Structure 1
Amino acid sequence: MNWLKSLFLLLLSALFVNSVMTTGFAEETVLNHEVDPDPGRVKYIWNPFPGFCGENASMVRCAGVCPETCAFKSAKCPKYCGVNCVCKPGYVFNEDLQLCILKSECPQDIKQEVVETHRVFQ
């Protein structure tokens, strides 16, 4: 039984190292772009979900690059794979905290806008 637990921990570690090595950037890295396809954006978040999605998100193969946030909901989004996590129903991505929060916990002074595209992730 202990060998099974050891194998599981070894595989989990390998997956985490592989995800970090694949990006080539530290988890808190924010990339700036010369040409911004979303003119309202100054920078994109590289990967706020290093190794696991957190309790308010679920792992998926291609979650895209335009998650719903407190401030914006995209009407359409470029077909990029983006990150591997998506916020659970009722949750939105908080760009300041870089995690999914309940939509009801968004700051009261922010009114969500539906825009053509609000790209968040690299």
Structure 2
Amino acid sequence: MVWIKSLSWLVLPVLFINSAMSTGFAEETVLNHYEDPDPGREKYIWNPFPGFCGENATQARCAGVCPETCAFKSLKCPKYCGVNCICKPDYVFDEILQLCILKSDCPQDIKQEVVEIHRVFQ
């Protein structure tokens, strides 16, 4: 009986670590996709954060492919991880500069549209 208790103390941390690291997405959905979920977009941005996120973004394991931009905010987004950084609160991704800027620094002539899906990243 004592060895069962000892074994449970060894297994418990493994189960906790495994559940903490889980994203909730199937692995093939997170990393691999073979059909384009946003066929209307012609050019995707690969990873604009190659080494680090920059001062206006933070690291995230699965930041998605539809960041808010000056021009668009998505209501829904395909469940792909995309890049490993996400803009900090009050910042949006600038597709031209390819970095996060303050939303208040967006060009005044651009009015943000709320759309169903605006995918930015590959």
TM-score (norm 1): 0.69
| 2:96 aligned with 1:91 | no
Q: What's 2:76 paired with?
A: 76
Structure with max Cα Rg: 2
Q: Answer 1 or 2: which has greater strand percent.
A: 1
1:82, 1:35 → 2: CA distance? 13
Give aligned pairs, total: 88
Q: What letter corresponds to residue 111 of structure 2 in structure 1?
A: K
Identity %: 82
8 Å Cα contact 1:38/1:117 also seen in 2 = no
Q: Secondary structure at the match of 1:104?
A: helix
1:120, 1:69 → 2: CA distance? 9
2:73, 2:55 → 1: CA distance? 22
Instruction: Identify unmatched segments of 5+ residues in structure 1.
Output: 1-33
TM-score (norm 2): 0.69
Q: What letter corresponds to residue 117 of structure 1 in structure 2?
A: I
8 Å Cα contact 1:66/1:74 also seen in 2 = yes
Instruction: Identify unmatched segments of 5+ residues in structure 2.
Output: 1-34
Runs of 4+ in structure 1 over 4 Å off: none
